[in-house]
Structure 1
Amino acid sequence: MSRAQRLLDLIQALRRHRRPVAGAVLAADLGVSLRTVYRDIETLKAQGADIEGEAGLGYVLRPGFLLPPLMFSEEEIEALVLGSRWPLSGRLRRRRLEGLCPSSREGVVSPGRR
């Protein structure tokens, strides 16, 4: 498993728990050592994840933490929008694309735009 995948899995594991969860439990869930969990939590904190807790007490991911959306260039957004206008499930694809667009590009995916 790559480190990036492990970090995403750790975030997902923390999301499943509403109360602080011990590092040993997280390590068992992820199939890694306790030391790896401690390092990965520090990495996630440094990247902006709102994780509270410490070794021996447990960790909790504060509500409201979201992964940043995928970023597309203007050309990529236009290509995705054009593809979403095909008759089959265009509305569904358009809604999913709206969720991926950064707020600075709001409205780009709307049906009235080119």
Structure 2
Amino acid sequence: MSRSERLLDLLQLLRRHRRPVGGAALAQELGISLRTLYRDIATLQAQGAGIDGAPGLGYVLREGFTLPPLMFSVEEVEALVLGSRWVMERGDARLGLAARDALAKIAAVLPPPLRRELDDSALLAGPGAPLAGSELLGALRDAIRQERRLDLDYRDAEGRASVRTVWPFALGYFDQVQVLVAWCELRGAIRHFRTDRIAALSARAERYPRRRQALLRAWREQEGVGEP
């Protein structure tokens, strides 16, 4: 592995960690000595990489620092293509169009060899069944991003109707169904709502009182789900 490749791998590794990670752990994952790691960190910092930290304290890549897309590896390009194709086949219309546009933007900045890998990728996503309630998914994503209260007309598994005011903070995509994760004011707890059982929804103007990230952390702790 060349030094430039090793430096890129170090940046990619730091991008996967949202909290400071120790130098020993970084060195072990990269298969290099701690001394080499410190030298590589200093080189990247001198070149303008937004790395904060120091020996003994750990390192973190400052929020907002991005790598040029032409640095994608072949397997990263394949992952992007397959993921985008899955969304185009199984997502709602808005999300499918966004995935198609994203691939076009990535293709526009890739060097020719990687552009050919993207265009000729043999990784395919099979067709998915039509999504029940897919017309609501765009509105749900908007409410999650804006942290807006939602009023839902909802029917449970037994067909019982109820009106719920919820604080939406996550949307889970599965092969056959999508699930809204939200704080329910009626139950005073986090609840899961299948989108195909939402008869109607309306977004309120006011934001809900807690931050989406805090609700998501509470849900992960409740469900025993680790960080992505």
User: 1:62 and 2:62 equivalent?
Assistant: yes
TM (norm. structure 2) is 0.33
| Alignment partners' CA distance in 2, 1:28 and 1:94 | 37
Which amino acid is the alignment partner of residue 6 of structure 2? R
Which structure 2 residues correspond to residues 39-58 of structure 1 after superposition, within 5 A? Answer: 39-58=39-58
How far did residue 64 of structure 1 move? 1.2
User: 1:95 and 2:113 equivalent?
Assistant: no
Which of 1 and 2 has higher RCO (CA within 8 Å, sep 6+)? 1
2:6 corresponds to which residue?
A: 6
User: 1:18 and 2:15 equivalent?
Assistant: no
Which amino acid is the alignment partner of residue 96 of structure 1? I
Contact kept, 8 Å, 2:69 with 2:106, in 1: the verdict is: no
| Alignment partners' CA distance in 1, 2:68 and 2:105 | 17
Unaligned runs of 5+ in 2: 71-99, 111-228
How far did residue 97 of structure 1 move? 3.5
How far did residue 94 of structure 1 move? 4.0
Which amino acid is the alignment partner of residue 42 of structure 1? A
1:13-32 superposed Cα distances (whole Å, 9 cap, x missing partner)? 11111111000000000000
TM (norm. structure 1) is 0.63
Q: Whose Rg is larger?
A: 2
2:187 corresponds to which residue?
A: none
Unaligned runs of 5+ in 1: 71-90, 102-114
Contact kept, 8 Å, 2:19 with 2:60, in 1: the verdict is: yes
Residues paired across the two proteins, number: 80
Which amino acid is the alignment partner of residue 6 of structure 1? R
| Alignment partners' CA distance in 2, 1:95 and 1:55 | 39
1:61-82 superposed Cα distances (whole Å, 9 cap, x missing partner)? 0111112355xxxxxxxxxxxx
**Over 6 Å off, 4+ runs:** none
Task: Name the SS of the counterpart of 2:37 in structure 1.
Answer: helix
| Alignment partners' CA distance in 2, 1:64 and 1:97 | 22
How far did residue 5 of structure 1 move? 0.7
Which amino acid is the alignment partner of residue 58 of structure 2? G
| Alignment partners' CA distance in 2, 1:29 and 1:65 | 22
Task: Name the SS of the counterpart of 1:63 in structure 2.
Answer: coil
Question: In proportion to residue count, which structure has more strand?
Answer: 2
| Alignment partners' CA distance in 2, 1:97 and 1:34 | 37
